[in-house]
Amino acid sequence: MVWPWVAGVAVVLLVMLISSNVKVSLKVVRKKNNDDIVLDIQGVFGLVKKRFEVPVIIFKSFSEGVGIKTEYVDKTKDEVLMDAEKKITKRSIKEAFDIMRNLLSHCFQFNEWLLDTLKHVHCTRVVWKTNVGVGDAAETALTTGMVWGLKTSLLGFLFRFIKLDTRPEIMVIPQFNEVKFSTEVLCLARIRMYFILLAGLHLLFRIIKIKDGWRTWQRVLFKA
């Protein structure tokens, strides 16, 4: 009979799917007045490739906020699925904060869920390079030490929650007798599809456990 073979193949494909890794690459570049943020997501053995890119970030003023341009790209088809220009202001930040607070209040122990999920994330590479100069050689040397300390503190805090599979590559290059600041961060991470699906189910159970939790999440996310 054909059906047992079809069922067997389906089970094998399902096992391969949930055991596959979802790989994430985050690159952040800041040079002079130019900013570039690129987030690449790859899954299902490379068959799914998505990119979220912020090629333009413009600070206008404290009253007008920050203007950003975003692009959502399907790398498998090499086409832009969506692009938009947005403005981040005090009002939009407050609205986002209120939305997040509303969602978290309708989820049972969200922080516990988040920390448990992060335990399954493996960071496979971290490269953080910074060039810094403040014009004076002595002050540049002092600033270099401060930047180095800040980096190690931030990474130390982050890797309390995420497993680090490699030694971070941290570089702080002093630019003596010139005013300069540029930084470039590359972070590669992976997590198995199984843990993503499991985390999704756990989150759903925590939302349903709170009164009106599911309705609130539906209403807020659908409105967004």
Mean pLDDT, rounded, for 87-114: 87
1 confidence band (pLDDT: 50, 70, 90): low
Contacts of 3 (CB under 8 A, 6+ apart): none
Residue 86 forms beta bridges with which residues? Answer: 68
178 CB contacts (<8 Å, ≥6 apart)?
Answer: 133, 135
Q: Is the pLDDT of residue 115 over 90?
A: yes
CB 50 within 8 A of CB 73: yes
Quote the CA–CA distance of 19 and 156 in Å, as a whole number. 29
How high is the pLDDT of residue 119? 92
Round to the nearest angstrom and report the end-to-end CA distance of the chain.
Answer: 49
Q: Is a pLDDT exceeding 70 seen at residue 37? A: yes
Q: Is the pLDDT of residue 172 over 80?
A: yes
Task: Return the pLDDT at 81.
Answer: 63
Band of pLDDT at residue 190, cut at 50, 70 and 90: very high
Return all residues near 170 (Cβ < 8 A) that are at least 6 apart.
126, 128, 148, 151, 152, 155
Say how many C-beta atoms besides its own lie within 10 A of residue 219's C-beta.
Answer: 12
Tell me, what amino acid is at 88? I
pLDDT for residue 121 is more than 60: yes
pLDDT in tens, 49-69: 778 777 656 655 555 666 776
Q: Bridge-partner residues for 186, per DSSP?
A: 27, 127
Report the pLDDT value the prediction gives residue 186, as an integer from 0 to 100: 92
Q: From CA 44, how far away is CA 155, in angstroms rounded?
A: 29
Total-model pTM: 0.79
Mean pLDDT of the chain, nearest integer: 82
Confidence of residue 189 (pLDDT cuts 50, 70, 90): very high
pLDDT, greater one: 211 or 221 = 211
Tokens of 8: 């067997």
C-alpha–C-alpha distance, residues 84 and 47, integer Å: 26
What is the phi-psi region of residue 108: left when phi exceeds 0, alpha when psi lies from -120 to 50, beta otherwise?
beta
In the prediction, which pLDDT does 42 show? 85
Average confidence (pLDDT) over 115-140: 90
* pLDDT in the model for residue 46: 67
Q: State residue 124's pLDDT score.
A: 92
**Mean pLDDT, range 131-144, rounded to an integer:** 87
CB 151 within 8 A of CB 171: no
Q: How many CA atoms lie within 13 A of 213 on its CB side?
A: 16
Distance CA 107, CA 206 (A): 5
Residue 188 has pLDDT above 80, yes or no: yes
Task: Identify the weakest region by mean pLDDT among 53-67, 150-164, 173-187.
Answer: 53-67
Residues 6 or more apart in contact with residue 88 via CB below 8 angstroms: 65, 66, 67, 68
Rounded Cα distance between 25 and 187, Å, is 6
